Amino acid sequence: MTDPLYTPEKLLEALNDLGLKTSTLTHEAVFRVGEGDDIKSQLPGAHTKNLFLKDDKGQLWLISAEQSTQIPLKTLPKVIGSGRLSFGSEERLYNALGVRPGSVTALGLINDPERKVRFILDKALADAEIVNFHPLTNTATTSLSQADFRAFIASLGRELVIVDFSTLT
């Protein structure tokens, strides 16, 4: 496994260097969406769940969705043009985004300069004024405005692909 280009500290510096306004709360490790309600109550905005996936063609995918969004993995390939989807391994996750399970985040795309991971954003998350992501570690949560999140994605040379998961079955 190779070391990631960005650590949590370097990521926060990079966000600051881009002129993006963020607020980061340090907390106990959170591994699943259902955990950390006390933390979420301190942070306004949409909270996320993030899925790191691989299709049967070898393509890697990252889906960032609002925490309550249902993501139908069986029907999603038709919508996004992928092969059959399954969860990516811990090793692939670390090599692609520089994070471990429990810390999967759209902010990890900073560690994928070759854009090997395709990014999908949930419409419910895209519509939120404030979004919250782990800053490459599940012991903190970083809040930023939708405009600043989109500026971050644009700074990586990526276009947003937005899927309305509420319309999928």
The residue whose two tokens read 């895209």 is 126
Q: How confident is the model at residue 97 (pLDDT cuts 50, 70, 90)?
A: very high
Say if residue 11's pLDDT is above 90.
Answer: yes
The band of 112, judged by pLDDT with boundaries at 50, 70 and 90, is very high
Q: What is the per-residue pLDDT for 29?
A: 77
Per-residue pLDDT, 28: 78
More confident call, 36 vs 105: 105
39 SS3 class: helix
DSSP 109: G
Give residue 3's pLDDT: 83
Cβ-based neighbours of 134, under 8 Å, separated by 6 or more: 30, 99, 103, 104, 105, 107, 140, 141, 142
Q: Sketch out the chain's domains with CATH numbers.
A: 8-167 (3.90.960.10)
**Residue appearing with tokens 């969705």:** 65
Q: How confident is the model at residue 67 (pLDDT cuts 50, 70, 90)?
A: very high
Model pLDDT, residue 32: 62
Q: Average per-residue pLDDT in the chain?
A: 92
How many CB atoms are closer than 10 A to CB 63?
Answer: 27
pLDDT of residue 13: 97
Least confident piece of the model among 5-19, 30-44, 53-67: 30-44
The mean per-residue pLDDT over the stretch 3-24 comes to 95
Residue 28: other Cβ atoms inside 10 A: 10
